Amino acid sequence: MTITFHPDGRVEGSGAANFGSSGNIIQTVIGTNGESSSSSVNLTGSISSPTFLDSNCKVTITPKRSNSKILLTWSAGIRQNPSTFGYVGVFYSPNSNMSSPVVIDKSRSPNLNESFRNNDTSYHMWESWSRISWDETITNTNTRYYNVGGYAQAGNIYYGDHQVALQLMAQEIAV
């Protein structure tokens, strides 16, 4: 039962998948930086069919344990037009094309439609958002796909507008 520790952080060998205690980071995957996109994206759709900020920034991770949690950290520049409300956050899909996406954030109400709201009738809001979410639904070691998406329930929410580029990171955490 030899276990090998590599300089790049990999652990291999018999029992290596169970190495590490609760709270340890098992692996980290960082998506492509969204700075290559130059135009703004109008976030339309719905919670079940969001608009993704940048399809190139998707993160693919294959959990090494079936009971892990995936910590998702992201940042992006978002603009809300006057009288706008909606949602922007991380979505999970079992499919590489992000079909059948499921929102990761938990809701304190029946929906997330007012997660972000601008009540002012004449004021535009330009903000750089940095957020974390965690996926607690891991029950197997199947590959998982994540990306940041959103929708405006009313008004318009945009990604881009010469702001912070989308960055998304996934970290598998031992339970």
Residue 16 DSSP SS3: helix
Number of domains within the chain: 1
Name the least confident of 86-90, 92-96, 104-108, 114-118.
114-118
For residue 5, being part of any structural domain is answered with no
Band (36; pLDDT cuts 50, 70, 90): low
Band (18; pLDDT cuts 50, 70, 90): low
For residue 7, being part of any structural domain is answered with no
Whether pLDDT at 148 is above 80: yes
For residue 105, being part of any structural domain is answered with yes
Indicate which CATH number applies to the domain containing 83.
Answer: 2.60.120
Residues 158-174 pLDDT 10s: 998 778 889 999 999 99
For residue 11, being part of any structural domain is answered with no
Spatial separation of the C-alpha atoms in residues 160 and 132, rounded to whole Å: 20
Residues 44-85 pLDDT 10s: 999 999 999 999 899 999 999 999 999 999 999 998 898 998
For residue 2, being part of any structural domain is answered with no
Model confidence, pTM: 0.85
For residue 145, being part of any structural domain is answered with yes
Domain interval for residue 53: 22-173
Residue 107 DSSP SS3: coil
Residues 126-141 pLDDT 10s: 888 889 999 999 999 9
For residue 17, being part of any structural domain is answered with no
For residue 36, being part of any structural domain is answered with yes
